[in-house]
Amino acid sequence: MAYRNSRPTAVWLIIGINLLLFIATLINREFVFYLLGFQPASFLTRPWTIVTNLFIHGSFWHIFANMITLYFFGIFLCRLIGVKKFLLVYFIGGIVGNIFFFLLPPSPFSIAIGASGAVFALAGVLVVMMPKLRVLLYFIFPLPLWVVVLVFFVIWSFLPSIAWQAHMGGLVFGLIAGYIFKRRIRYFYTQR
């Protein structure tokens, strides 16, 4: 599998926007959550929130976990599939996660925030395209990526106040996208 010489500018841009909006939440949390958070009950009056909520986080640990994962998975994926496909996976995965949250909300008035659905989409692509990829869990334990993704999906998805629906939607989309990318790459190399 050939690696593309792609600059990870898109990854840094997404991280930068997330950090700027996190600072805004520190200044006026309720307003930013209301304006940019995804709430099923108010989606028709604020449709932009199906994308903007991907840039809003509720705590330091929330943004730290999502951005560190976005950094490692995003840079790897930009080199593997290119920046355009990375952006498609990231944003469509996040939107699909929000659609799952819309269809299965804990309450129509719940507000979903965070990039986790998009990040799980990136993880899904990598799990399918690089099934033998080993990562260092907590920078110490070498494990196959699929084990790490499964462990974090279970842990992070079933804690209180976590939008497991967004995680599920993003992961499902990422697995499907990874399968499509892998088939196209295999077809490309066998047709030459």
Distance CA 87, CA 93 (A): 10
DSSP state of 115: S
Residue at 4 is within a domain: no
Count of domains forming the chain = 1
CA 86 from chain centre, in angstroms, equals: 11
- Mean pLDDT for the stretch of residues 159-178: 93
Report yes or no on 79 lying in a domain.
Answer: yes
Decide if 28 is inside a domain. Answer: yes
Residue 172 near residue 96, CB atoms below 8 Å = yes
The pLDDT of residue 186 is 58
2 within a domain of the structure (yes/no)? no
Identify the domain containing residue 133 by its residue range.
Answer: 9-190
For residues 159, 163, 166, 172, the Cα torsion angle rounded to the nearest 10 degrees is 30
Quote the CA–CA distance of 130 and 61 in Å, as a whole number: 28
- Domain annotation covers residue 18: yes
In a domain, 33, yes or no: yes
Residue 1 lies inside a defined structural domain of this protein: no
Q: Is 141 helix (H, G, I), strand (E, B) or coil?
A: strand
pLDDT tens track for 21-37 = 999 999 999 999 999 99
Summarize pLDDT for 38-80 with one digit per residue, the tens.
Answer: 999 999 999 999 999 999 999 999 999 999 999 999 999 999 9
**Which two structure tokens, joined as six digits, stand for 187?**
């077809």
Quote the pLDDT of residue 2: 47
pLDDT for position 5: 52
Nearest to 150 by CA among 135, 101, 40: 135
Q: At what angle do helices 9-27 and 29-36 cross, to 10 degrees?
A: 130
Helix (H, G, I), strand (E, B) or coil at 170: helix
The whole-model pTM stands at 0.88
134, β-bridge pairs: 144
**What are the residue ranges of helices labelled H in 5-131?**
9-27, 29-36, 49-52, 60-81, 83-103, 116-129
State residue 63's pLDDT score. 97
CATH of the domain at 40: 1.20.1540.10
The stretch 122-143 carries a mean pLDDT of 84
Confidence category of residue 183, pLDDT binned at 50, 70, 90: confident
Those residues whose C-beta lies under 8 Å from the C-beta of residue 19, and which sit 6 or more positions away, are 63, 67
At 156 the pLDDT is 76
Which tokens go with 185? Answer: 């790459």
122 within some domain: yes
